Chains A and B, each alone.
Chain A
Amino acid sequence: MTAPTERGAAAAVAAVVADDHPRVMAAVVGTLGDWSIAEDAVQDALERALARWPADGVPDSPAAWITTVARRRGIDLLRSRAAADRAAERLAHEPAAEPDDASGASGFPHDDERLALLHTACHPAIAADARAALALRAVLGVPVERIARLFGVGEDAMQKRLVRARAKIRNAGIPYRVPGPAELPGRSEGVRQVLYGLFAIGYAAPADADARAAASEAIRLARLLRELTPERTHERVEADGLLALMLLQHARRDARVRADGSAVPLPEQDRDRWDRALAREGLALVDAALALAASSGLAGGRHLVHAAIAAEHVRPELAARIDHGRVVELYRVLERLDGSPFVVLNRAIAQANDGDAEGGLAALDEVADALERHHLLHAARGDLLRRVGRDAEAAEALRRGAGLAPTDAERRALVEAAAAAEAGR
């Protein structure tokens, strides 16, 4: 027991939320078998800690105290709710799941249970727009108001989304466990896509503070996913790749955007504004994962290949130039894993960077139909046409792209590029 003070109690509660929320939540869901009651119970326990610890002192193991109180509170909630028959029956058969020692550190779940929490939050049967929010709320304990801001929606709308998702977990019987070997690859890929989707909110709008916070939260979840995934498995190699990809992209966050919100192309980025610590961590992860994949025969997936491509773009911070030939090669590997036309588009740009603009233009023709309505196709075509001196056609393509651009900043940049092409500048 630590001597009671109000500030010490608040700090201890905050520390549990910051460091131990996934373990606490996993333990409580594991006991109660009911997601939404577990969330309420953990919230209640945190509030009770705030009320009691200033007078009683902070227990030696704050997280274990919260877990035990939350379990008891959850059991009360279950008993008082007639609709909870199923979960109550389960409890009746698992009396050992309730710890009797409030101060003991025992009863914490294994890594598997926190991993189960992530897989449940990202289950494909939950609405796509609720998965990342549920992971933030239930796994990391991020307040609803903050989650709402990350997603650019109102707090009420986000609350409804979360309530709906929890109801689906309960009513449809979405299980709380790590999927079996047959389902695991697809489901884990789903988790990674949810986390990357959250990250992409920040990546797409680097000038927006809330959106950037979404990227930071995604990195926290990706770190957790990596930490919990068993080593020397395909899933781990991909979790390494996902985290590395996020770190390498996030390292460039300050250099990627001008004061007016427009994007800075990579060659023009001020490398002194890169976060070198993050970049180095990302590079080390990619290299270790690639080496493991090569030596053990564990197949890397699309996130590892994406990370390897990002690494080739960040690596020259230390060396002289990007190895564009290597980047083209990696995009070809990625094309076999991921049929997205955007991969081909990126390969086309990489080919042009490697000195083969004509080859890049031919690659763009392959995806011309699929990306006809997307500004990035026309922006890339304009860029490549300029490199081969076809300025008039380039201007036309860039204007076409400007007409399809989703943001003002991108539209302005393409209009300016079209004017420059027209003037032969």
Chain B
Amino acid sequence: MRYVLFICTDPEGEPYDAATDDPQAWWEPLQASGQYVIGDRLRPVEDATTVRVRAGERIITDGPFTESREWIAGFDVVEADDLDAAIEIAAGHPMARFGRIEVRPVWPL
């Protein structure tokens, strides 16, 4: 199954530790095993733009679609056999400790 991991910030997360929180160490084995599909960091919410079309009119606003102390800082798309395998992958991501990760199965059309 394919899962999207939304890498989120969390004000209540543990402190960041540059020595152990190395995304490269998380990413490389997934890349090697072919489970890694795609992913990236995202620029902060200050750089977000929200687009809506209402009654045919485009409404463009600065910022994210909700005001929140937590936001999505990145995403990774992985292939995993099942939810437990996806949880295992997510738990190994450094941001699971100093942020939080939302695991969502994709819903193909």
Q: Tell me the A residues contacting B by CB distance below 8 Å.
A: 86, 123, 125, 171-175, 179, 183
Contacts of B84 in A (CB 8 A): 174-175, 179, 183
Chain A interface main SS type: loop
CB distance from B33 to the nearest CB of A (A): 17
In the assembled complex, the Cα of A125 lies from the Cα of B103 at a distance in Å of: 10
- Whether the Cβ atoms of A175 and B105 lie closer than 8 Å is no
Interface residues on B, range: 10 to 19
Contacts of B85 in A (CB 8 A): 175
Q: Tell me the B residues contacting A by CB distance below 8 Å.
A: 1, 3, 80-88, 103, 105, 107
**Which of B3, B81, B103, B107 meets A175, CB within 8 Å?**
B81
Contacts of A173 in B (CB 8 A): 1, 3, 80-83, 86, 105
Contacts of B107 in A (CB 8 A): 171
In the assembled complex, the Cα of A175 lies from the Cα of B85 at a distance in Å of: 9
Complex A-B: 21 CB contacts under 8 Å: A86-B1, A123-B83, A125-B83, A125-B87, A171-B105, A171-B107, A172-B103, A172-B105, A173-B3, A173-B80, A173-B81, A173-B82, A173-B86, A174-B83, A174-B84, A175-B81, A175-B82, A175-B83, A175-B84, A175-B85, A183-B88
Closest 8 pairs (CB-CB, A-B): A175-B82, A173-B82, A173-B1, A173-B83, A174-B83, A172-B83, A172-B105, A175-B84
In the assembled complex, the Cα of A86 lies from the Cα of B108 at a distance in Å of: 12
Residue of B nearest to A175 (CB): B82
Residue of A nearest to B104 (CB): A172
Residue of A nearest to B107 (CB): A171
CB distance from B90 to the nearest CB of A (A): 11
In the assembled complex, the Cα of A125 lies from the Cα of B101 at a distance in Å of: 13
Residue of B nearest to A119 (CB): B84
CB distance from B81 to the nearest CB of A (A): 7
Contacts of A179 in B (CB 8 A): 84
CB distance from B45 to the nearest CB of A (A): 27
